[in-house]
């Protein structure tokens, strides 16, 4: 495998790239970009088939490897802050999350992790498991991409201050392949993420009988005819597969209905419904102590 490899996922799928990186025990970054059409055509190997040429535009995702192991992943459009990762993994409640984001916006992940551990908010195991799950969800999502240009840069590592968790690629490839099959089925059941959701006329009794997890409640809290499913996924920091699984479950339970969105809201306009998860706030003295420590960063 060369020091720099360029192409598109039409030529070399993400799964094939992961195989190559694993076999060659490579260290470096695989970057995926928005495809920008040049207006030219590429002649394929048979000498007859043509397809539009695309070149790399804005970076959309990055996966980092060390000696053939997956250690880091990020999506440009998703919030990759450690506090967000822990909040999404239910290791921080809403109030803890807001305080930390306000007071430690400029702290590196490593510095923030040390503060949170010392304040007994989370354990080292909580942090490592949450980052690992965050990394895997991103890579599983990228394994469904099929057209984006890519560049592999040997030796390039994550930004300073990021926490890395080594993950064996063999298991990632196996689990990712299984998830791709599941996603294919979900995509058939729910093909259009630009539709919106609304509650049926009397969902109250159904909601009383069904136990929703925190992730489901987050989605439910954004249900509004003005919010598309895609907008909700972005607001909840979820991949396409994650939002499809949750919405599919809500639809099957009769808790929501698909509708065409009334308008396309901007990110700042996305609206919450009245339903919110019941989360117990943390004890105030603990938060106060953490705020004081974060101020000294």
The domain spans of the chain are 4-42+50-186, 190-269
Tell me how many degrees the CA angle 269-273-274 measures, rounded to the nearest 5.
135
Q: To the nearest whole number, what is the mean pLDDT of the chain?
A: 85
Q: Which residues pair with 4 in a beta bridge?
A: 153
Q: Is 134 helix (H, G, I), strand (E, B) or coil?
A: helix
Q: Give the range among 97-101, 149-153, 184-188, 279-283 with minimum mean pLDDT.
A: 279-283
Write the pLDDT tens digit of every residue in 24-46.
999 999 999 999 999 998 887 77
Pairing of strands 196-198, 28-43: unpaired
Look at residue 64 and tell me whether its pLDDT is greater than 60: yes
- The closest of 101, 176, 95, 99 to 142, measured between CA atoms, is 176
pLDDT above 70: percentage of residues in the chain: 85
Higher pLDDT, 265 or 105: 105
- CATH placement of domain 190-269: 1.10.10.10
The more confidently predicted of residues 43 and 282 is 43
Predicted local confidence at residue 189, as pLDDT: 85
* Residue that the structure tokens 């702290």 belong to: 107
């Amino acid at each position: 495998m060369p020091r720099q490899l360029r192409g598109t996922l039409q030529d070399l799928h993400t799964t094939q790239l992961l195989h190559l990186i694993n076999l060659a025990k490579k260290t470096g970054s695989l970057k995926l970009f928005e495809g920008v059409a040049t207006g030219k055509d590429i002649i394929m190997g048979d000498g007859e088939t043509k397809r539009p040429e695309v070149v790399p535009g804005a970076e959309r995702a990055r996966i980092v490897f060390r000696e053939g192991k997956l250690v880091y992943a990020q999506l440009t459009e998703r919030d990759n802050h450690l506090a967000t990762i822990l909040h999404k993994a239910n290791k921080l409640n809403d109030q803890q999350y807001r305080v930390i984001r306000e007071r430690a916006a400029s702290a590196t992940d490593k510095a923030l992790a040390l503060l949170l551990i010392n304040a007994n908010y989370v354990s080292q195991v909580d942090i490592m498991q949450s980052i690992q799950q965050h990394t895997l969800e991103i890579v599983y999502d990228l394994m469904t991409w099929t057209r984006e240009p890519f560049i592999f840069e040997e030796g390039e590592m994550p930004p300073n201050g990021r926490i890395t968790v080594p993950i064996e690629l063999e298991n990632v490839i196996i689990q990712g392949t299984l998830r791709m099959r599941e996603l294919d089925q979900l995509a058939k059941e729910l093909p259009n993420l630009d539709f919106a959701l609304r509650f049926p006329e009397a969902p109250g009794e159904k909601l009383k009988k069904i136990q929703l997890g925190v992730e489901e409640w987050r989605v439910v809290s954004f249900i509004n005819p003005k919010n598309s499913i895609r907008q909700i996924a972005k607001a909840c920091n979820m991949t396409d597969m994650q939002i499809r699984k949750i919405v599919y479950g809500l639809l099957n339970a009769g808790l929501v209905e698909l509708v065409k969105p009334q308008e396309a809201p901007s990110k700042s306009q996305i609206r919450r419904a009245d339903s919110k998860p019941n989360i117990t706030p943390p004890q105030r003295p603990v938060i106060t102590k953490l705020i004081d420590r974060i101020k000294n960063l």
